[in-house]
Amino acid sequence: MCAGEISGNADCEISGVASLAEATPGEITFYGNPRYLAAFRKTRASAAFVPEDFAEQIVEGQIRVADPTRAFEQVVLKFAPQQITFPAGIHPSAVVAPGVSLGEKVSIGAHAVIEPGARIGDGTRIGAQSYIGHETTIGADCLVYPNVTIRERCQIGDRVILHSGTVVGSDGFGFEMATGGHKKVPQIGIVQIDNDVEIGANTTIDRARFGRTWIQEGVKIDNLVQIAHNVVIGKHSIIVAQVGIAGSVRIGAGVVIGGQAGIIGHIEIDDGTMIGAQTGVSKSLHGGTWWATPAVPLKESMEHLAWVRRLGKLFARVKALEDKLGR
pLDDT in tens, 111-127: 999 999 999 999 999 99
Nearest 5 degrees, angle CA 198-CA 187-CA 168? Answer: 20
| Spatial contact of 154 and 176, defined as CB atoms under 8 Å apart | no
Q: Which residues contact 3 (CB under 8 A, 6 or more apart)?
A: 65
Return the sign of the alpha-carbon dihedral for residues 78, 84, 86, 87.
positive
Report the phi/psi class of residue 96: left, alpha or beta, with left for phi > 0 and alpha for psi in -120 to 50. Answer: beta
In 25-156, which ranges are continuous DSSP H helix?
A: 37-42, 68-79
pLDDT band (50, 70, 90) for residue 143 = very high
* Long-range contacts of the stretch 31-37 (C-beta < 8 A, 24+): 31/58, 31/68, 32/67, 32/68, 32/69
Predicted pLDDT at 95: 98
Predicted pLDDT at 56: 93
Quick one: which of 116, 92, 90 has its CA closest to 103? 90
Quick one: which of 237, 165, 253 has its CA closest to 261? 237
How far is it, in rounded angstroms, from Cα 248 to Cα 226?
13
Does pLDDT of 327 surpass 70? no
Return the sign of the alpha-carbon dihedral for residues 120, 122, 124, 125.
positive
List pLDDT tens digits, range 221-269. 999 999 999 999 999 999 999 999 999 999 999 999 999 999 999 999 9
Q: Which residues are catalytic?
A: 229
Percent of residues, the chain, with pLDDT higher than 90: 83
List pLDDT tens digits, range 30-62. 999 999 999 999 999 999 999 999 999 999 999
Q: What are phi and psi of 253, to 5 degrees?
A: -80, 150
Q: Give the mean pLDDT of 287-315.
A: 90
Q: Which CATH architecture has domain 89-300?
A: 3 Solenoid (2.160)
- Cα atoms in the 13 Å half-sphere on the side-chain side of 80: 10
Burial classification of residue 16, based on how many CB atoms lie within 10 Å of its CB (0-12 exposed, 13-18 middle, 19 or more buried): middle
Which 3 state secondary structure label does DSSP give 255? coil
Greater pLDDT, 299 or 190: 190
User: DSSP assignment, residue 207?
Assistant: P
Report the phi/psi class of residue 316: left, alpha or beta, with left for phi > 0 and alpha for psi in -120 to 50. Answer: alpha
Q: What is the pTM of this model?
A: 0.87
Predicted pLDDT at 238: 98
The domain segmentation of the chain, as residue ranges, is: 5-79, 89-300
Strand 181-184 and strand 175-178: the pairing is: antiparallel
CA 230 to chain CA centroid, nearest Å: 20
CATH 3.40.1390.10 matches 5-79: yes
Bridge partners (DSSP) of residue 263 are 245, 281
